[in-house]
Structure 1
Amino acid sequence: MSNRKIAAWRDAGLIDSATAQRLVAYEAEHARPLALWAVFGLGALAIGLGIISVVAANWEEIPGQLRLAVHLALLIGLSATLALREGELARISPWVSEALLFVIAVLGLTFFGHLGQVYQTSSPLWKPLATWLILFGPMLLIFGRSWPAAALLIGASIYCAWDFAAADSGALFEREERPGWLLAAIATTLPGLFAPFAAWMRDRSGRHDFWRQLELVAITYAVGGATLSCIVASFGGFDSDYDPLGSAGQLVRAVAALGFGLLLVLAKPGLSGRVSGLVMAGSGLTIALALGVNDIDLLAAGLFMALWVGIAAAALAIDARGAFQLAVAVVALRLIILSFELASDLLLSGFGLILSGLMILAVAWGAVRVSQVYAPGRETQEQTP
């Protein structure tokens, strides 16, 4: 905060002279010169790059067991530092603690790859990921403070679940023994379970921001799945029945999302909990309905827009300006794409291109106007939808 701004507040009568002096003294005491910190950062970066270069140049000359021992020792040392000094690091800056936790988690993840390289072993990726989640997931839940830890935990869970589900069909990764469509479909629902769990923990922990971010990322997974279901349905992608990626698997995910929505309402009483639960349940309902509009482009697009209109309404209910504007933008974009799908012949003529351009401008203008008129004010604190 600049002294000029403090002086402006004092002159406007927002603060008195004594408060202004205390603010100036506080800022002077806690100032962190940007140039000095940049120099420190460049020095640390140079040292780190130098160490990496030395190790990389002699990688093959270093015995595999020694590399693993150093990797493991580094992992244990950093983990011990986090466990013993986490509170002190968080008081310095929550981001210091979060950065250390993130580094430990990534080191743990790369350790499995390092282990496979040294001993020349291989396995489906979901197996080391599942092991990593069992070993390091609790650490992320115990010490996580913001979105990096939440995103890493949910992201790894999603990748692990879908790798397990798709491994049997070879749709994403190498084919292996089929795990069973029901088990695979259930696995893909598990990342959504973080939403009610995080909602339940929010009032039982001092790390409110972490649990809020974890809940939000888990709800985003459900909304993303519902959105993708509408897109797949628009070109008739749901053909197979008893397959983790097919119609039966979709129904399992729909039922799970409905259940998670109910758990969200129970775990977080109040308007915010009801809205979060409705968004989660609405995503599940959309996933189920997408099967009924499979290969019906217009209805699939309508279902897509209904989902995001519902999200916009939910955002309005809790004064979430950013979420509302995002939902309006998504609906506008889908309208534009739908117009091209329904009137693709217009694009073959100059007059048609002019009409299409005017239509895009009209939709964009309408989206901006809706956002300006109905979006909550910037001063309103946003909450998790």
Structure 2
Amino acid sequence: MVTGRIARWHEAGLIDAETRDRLVAYEEEHSRPFALWAVFGIGALAIGLGLVSLVAANWEEVPGQVRLAVHLALIAGAFAALLLREERLAAASPWAVEALVFVTAALGLTFFGHLGQVYQTSAPLWEPLAVWLALFGPLMLATGRGWPVAAALVGGAIWCAWEYHSALGGFLVRRTEEPAWPWLALMTALPVLFAPLGAALRSRSARADFWRRVEQCGLAYTIAGASIFAALASVGAFESEPGALDPASQLVRAAVALVAGALVAAARPTLSGRMAGGIIALAGLVTAVVFGANDVTVLAAALFMALWVGIAAAALVAGWRGVFQLAVGVIVLRLIVLSFELASDLLLSGFGLILSGVLVLGIAWAAWRVSRSFAPEAEAEG
């Protein structure tokens, strides 16, 4: 398929014969038999599913200690492979190391559930998550190569932080003793600091792509948090959760985001780094002031859209085409939701439905024009 396209380029006079021959030789040397690999993959998947089915069918027949020993042996074998073969595997394919690290971390995480099942023990979920992060976090930080391990590491930290928050404070839970809400807010904000960690190490490590993904995960968490808080404000959630979402807690979360934004900008004093730090700082500002927009639909929506307008502007400056288009799409969706929120009293009438439909079409058309006119030509490295 590719060689046929190259031949057409030559026939159209776009490339000469020498260039054609070099391109064809390169494609033949680097071609991958995807159909054959797909067959191998299907066969391996069938074998794996068969083994899982056999184990599942006889799960209760296998003594718990034997199952735990096998589980530990798998973890130890994966650790040994990383310790002894990491460089050789990385030379062959960085994704081989990434896959092995991810599988090792997954085996470690599932071991705690397996342990609880065998010995019929229970504990707050944040405790095994914290132990898993302490044991396997250094492995992921030291050997991760791409986004799967970065997402597992940051996602695990976020999961642990919010499970801790839920166990000691929680939403929609009234306790006899008043939880230390600012402390819990600090715990949920700490994963934001993955952004400056990744920004600081991406230019100082041979695994730059991994640290870039870590930074992006921290950035995404900050944006998601500020967006969720703005959405909660639009439905009056700050009144129903006076402790978990009180001004002091919000200010703690905002302070961590502001510090993280400044650290990202300082660690990466490039245009891209400054824009990333600015987005994190803007999310922190929205987090700090969103309490005042509680149950004020228009104001809460304005804060939400101000955040995403800022993201779109930063993406425009930095040349992040995908981020710019995502921001435009989110703004359009929020405007559509807002149109229905404001027209809720009229939706029972045909006029209200027509008005909302026209507004939605107008917003979609305006966003399309903005995207065509102002989207960056090419996406730069984020």
TM > 0.5 fold call: yes
CA distance 1:98–1:229, shift in 2 (3 Å): same
Secondary structure of the residue that 2:123 maps to in structure 1?
Answer: coil
- Take 1:226 and 1:363, find their aligned partners in 2: how far apart are those partners? 23
CA 1:257/1:320 → structure 2, altered by over 3 Å: closer, same or farther? same
Q: Report the secondary structure of 2:195's partner residue.
A: helix
Matched ranges for 1:286-325 at <5 A:
286-325=286-325
Hey, what does 2:25 align to over in structure 1?
25
Q: Which residue of 1 aligns with 2:381?
A: 383
Q: Hey, what does 2:39 align to over in structure 1? A: 39
Output the amino acid matched with 2:336: I
Q: Spell out the pairing of 1:44-55 with structure 2 (5 A cutoff).
A: 44-55=44-55
Distance 1:173 1:341, change over 3 A: closer
1:180, distance to aligned residue in structure 2 (A): 2.7
Q: 1:9 deviation in Å? A: 4.1
- After superposition, the Cα gap between the structure-2 partners of 1:175 and 1:212, relative to the gap in structure 1 and judged at 3 Å, is farther
Secondary structure at 1:346's aligned position in 2?
Answer: coil
SS at match of 1:243: coil
Question: Paired residue for 1:5?
Answer: 5
Q: Would you say how many aligned residue pairs link Structure 1 and Structure 2?
A: 382
* CA spacing shift, 1:121–1:61, aligned 2, 3 Å: same
Residue 244 of structure 1, CA deviation: 4.0
Summarize deviations over 1:254-289 as a string: whole Å, max 9, x none.
Answer: 111011111111111121121111101100000011
Maintained 8 Å contact 2:102/2:149: yes
CA separation in 2, counterparts of 1:47 and 1:258?
50
- The separation in 2 between residues aligned to 1:20 and 1:121, in whole angstroms, is 67
Decide whether aligned partners of structure 1 residues 176 and 159 sit closer, same or farther in structure 2, where only a CA change above 3 A counts. Answer: farther
- Per the alignment, residue 156 of structure 1 pairs with 156
Distance 1:198 1:177 in 2: 38
TM superposition shift of 1:184: 1.4
Map 1:184-263; keep pairs closer than 5 Å. 184-239=184-239, 243-263=243-263
SS of residue matched to 1:287: helix
Distance 1:213 1:347 in 2: 44
Gap change, CA 1:334 and 1:47, over 3 Å in 2: same
Partner of 1:238, secondary structure, is helix
Q: Distance in 1 between matches of 2:371 and 2:70?
A: 54
Kept after mapping to 2: 8 A contact 1:242/1:249: no
Conservation of the 8 A alpha-carbon contact between 1:250 and 1:288:
yes
Partner of 2:277: 277
1:105 shift after superposition: 0.9
- Residue 6 and residue 94 in structure 1: after superposition, are their counterparts in 2 closer, same or farther (change >3 A)? farther
The TM-score, its normalising length taken from structure 1, stands at 0.93
C-alpha contact 1:312 1:323 (8 A) present in aligned 2: yes
Q: Give the AA of the match of 2:193.
A: L
Deviates more, 1:97-106 or 1:254-263: 97-106
Q: Which amino acid aligns with 1:214?
A: V
Q: Which amino acid aligns with 1:382?
A: A
TM-align CA RMSD: 2.2
Quote the Cα distance in structure 2 between the aligned partners of 1:204 and 1:336.
44
Query: Cα–Cα, structure 1 residues 280 and 122, in superposed 2: closer, same or farther, change >3 Å?
Result: same
Q: 1:70 to 1:172 in 2, by over 3 A?
A: farther
Residue 329 of structure 1: aligned partner: 329
Partner of 1:362: 362
CA distance 1:303–1:174, shift in 2 (3 Å) = closer
In structure 1, list runs of 5 or more residues that go unmatched.
Answer: none
Give me the whole-angstrom Cα distance separating, in 2, the residues matched to 1:175 and 1:32: 60
C-alpha separation between the residues in 1 aligned to 2:29 and 2:172?
A: 55
1:238 CA drift (Å): 1.5
Deviations 1:279-332 (A, max 9, x none): 011000000110121221111111111111111100001011111111111111
User: In 1, Cα distance between the equivalents of 2:176 and 2:3?
Assistant: 65
Distance 1:121 1:178 in 2: 28
Q: 1:160-208 CA deviation, whole Å, 9 max, x = no partner?
A: 0011012123438998987632321111111100000100001101222
Amino acid at match of 1:88: R
1:117 aligns with 2:127: no
Equivalent pairs: percent with the same residue?
Answer: 60
Three-state SS of the structure 2 residue aligned to 1:295 is: coil
Structure-1 separation of matches of 2:78 and 2:106: 12
5+ unaligned residues in a row in structure 2: which ranges? none
CA–CA separation in structure 1 for the residues paired with 2:95 and 2:245: 38
Tell me, yes or no, if the aligned pair for 1:312 and 1:327 is still in contact at 8 Å: yes
